[in-house]
Amino acid sequence: MDRGQYQALDGLGLAEALQRGETTPAQLMECAIDVANSVNPALNALCYERYEESLAVAREWTLRGPFGGIPFLLKDSGLAHIRFPSSIGSRLLDDTTYARNATLADRFEQAGLIPFARTTVPEFCMAPTTEALRNGGPTRNPWDPARSSGGSSGGAAVAVAAGIVPLAHGSDGGGSIRIPAACCGVYGLKTSRGRVPIGPFKGEGWGSLATDGVLSRTVRDTAAALDAIAGMEVGAPYSAPPAPDSYLALLSRPPRPLRVAVWRSAFAGVDVAPECVAAVEHAAALLARAGHTVVDSQPPDIGYDEFVTAHAQVLAANIVLSVDAKLAQTGRALQADDLEPAYRDGYEEGRRLSAATYAACVNRFHAVGRVLAAYLQDYDIVLSPSLTQLPLKLGVLSTRGVSFMDLRRQVGRYGTFAAAFNASGQPAASLPLYWTEAGLPVGVQIAASFGREDLLLQLSAQLEQLAPWSGRYRR
Catalytic machinery residues:
75, 152, 176
Q: How far is CA 39 from CA 11, 34, 76, 161, 164, in A?
A: 20, 9, 19, 11, 8
CA angle 395, 125, 66 (to 5 degrees): 120
* Measured distance CA(325)–CA(310) in Å, rounded: 23
- DSSP at 92: T
* Measured distance CA(191)–CA(196) in Å, rounded: 7
Print burial letters for 101-122: b (CB count within 10 Å at least 16), e (below 16): bbbbbebbbebbbbbbbbbbbb
Residue in 184, 196, 205 with CA at minimum distance from that of residue 228 = 196
Give 349's contacts (C-beta < 8 A, 6+ positions apart).
Answer: 312, 313, 316, 403, 404, 405
Rg (CA), the chain: 20
Orientation of helix 25-43 relative to helix 11-19, angle to 10°: 150
Count CB-CB contacts under 10 A for residue 244: 12
